[in-house]
């Protein structure tokens, strides 16, 4: 059975743990980089990306997460997690983990309308996916190897690049578990591929 970790330095950790468990996979809170050796897939939760980056550096996670992804192990970033995964961030030189070939804008829907919900049709997932946006980013541009999964208001808010998945919204805050289940499927597939290689 797959073991999926949630980076537990800051942010919406508990909700992800509950959603992972609902898919039948085992969920683990990741607080030390050594724990990455024990998991098959990793979720970077929502929170505050600048703070999370600082904690990633303080706890020596930076290279460890990039190596985890480099081994072909799936990573799913939600909201602040999406920002961490991007190669470029508007208004900043360089990205953070730089795993996905895309430029993102932070707090892109305005600080005043800080949060809202929408029902979106998401490629590979289905119709009417309940999406909760909280001070959400969006993907401004993406390279051709990035599969755009959905848009809201003509802005890209979910994407996949090989074994990397990201959403600008918070699937873990709803009862709609399809995105987490889809990620759990990606993790299972990568486990099989890595076992037979
Ligand atoms: N706006 C936050 C950031 O820049 C992300 C918000 C969230 O994760 N809900 O990190």
Query: Residue ranges of the domains in the chain?
Result: 3-195
21 labelled catalytic: no
Mean pLDDT of the chain: 95
Rounded average pLDDT over 149-172: 97
Identify the pLDDT of residue 134.
94
User: Does the model's pTM come out above 0.90?
Assistant: yes
Q: What is the pLDDT of residues 53-111, one digit of tens each?
A: 999 999 999 999 999 999 999 999 999 999 999 999 999 988 999 999 999 999 888 76
Rounded average pLDDT over 164-189: 97
C-alpha 27: how far from chain center? 15
172 labelled catalytic: yes
CATH number for domain 3-195, candidates 3.20.20.100, 3.40.50.300, 3.40.50.880, 3.20.20.70 = 3.40.50.880
How big is the chain, counted in residues? 197
Tell me if 9 sits within 8 A of 34, measured CB to CB.
no
Tell me if 115 sits within 8 A of 108, measured CB to CB.
no
Q: What is the pLDDT of residues 98-133, one digit of tens each?
A: 999 999 999 888 765 689 999 999 999 999 999 999
Q: Distance between CA 157 and CA 150 in Å, rounded?
A: 6
Binding site for L-glutamine: which residues?
47-49, 106, 134-135
**Which residue ranges have their beta carbon within 6 Å of ligand 1?**
46-49, 79-80, 83, 106-107, 134-135
What ipTM score was computed for the predicted complex, to two decimals? 0.93
Confidence of residue 197 (pLDDT cuts 50, 70, 90): confident
Task: Output the CA–CA distances (angstroms, integers) from residue 126 to 15, 138, 159, 165, in the order listed.
Answer: 22, 20, 14, 16
Tell me if 190 sits within 8 A of 74, measured CB to CB.
yes
User: Mutate which of 16, 50, 80 to test ligand 1's pocket (most atoms within 8 Å of Cβ)?
Assistant: 80
Tell me if 76 sits within 8 A of 41, measured CB to CB.
yes
- For the chain, the first-to-last Cα distance in angstroms comes to 19
In degrees and rounded to multiples of 5, residue 125 shows phi and psi of -110, -55
């Amino acid at each position: 059975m797959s073991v999926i970790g949630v980076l537990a330095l800051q942010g919406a950790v508990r909700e992800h743990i509950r959603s992972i468990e609902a898919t039948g996979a085992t969920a683990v809170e990741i607080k030390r980089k050594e724990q990455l050796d024990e998991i098959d897939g990793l979720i970077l939760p929502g929170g505050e990306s600048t703070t999370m980056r600082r904690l990633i550096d303080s706890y020596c996670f930076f290279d460890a997460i990039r190596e985890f992804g480099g081994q072909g192990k799936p990573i799913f970033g939600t909201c602040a997690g999406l920002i961490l995964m991007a190669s470029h961030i508007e208004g900043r030189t360089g990205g953070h983990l730089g795993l996905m070939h895309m430029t993102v804008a932070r707090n892109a829907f305005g600080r005043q309308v800080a949060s809202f919900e929408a029902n979106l049709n998401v490629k590979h997932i289905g119709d009417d996916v309940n999406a909760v946006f909280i001070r959400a980013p969006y993907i401004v541009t993406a390279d051709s190897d990035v599969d755009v999964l959905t848009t809201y208001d003509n802005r890209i808010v979910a994407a996949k690049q090989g074994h990397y998945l990201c959403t600008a919204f918070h699937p873990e805050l709803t009862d709609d578990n399809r995105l987490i289940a889809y990620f759990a499927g990606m993790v299972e597939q990568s486990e099989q591929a890595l076992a037979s290689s």
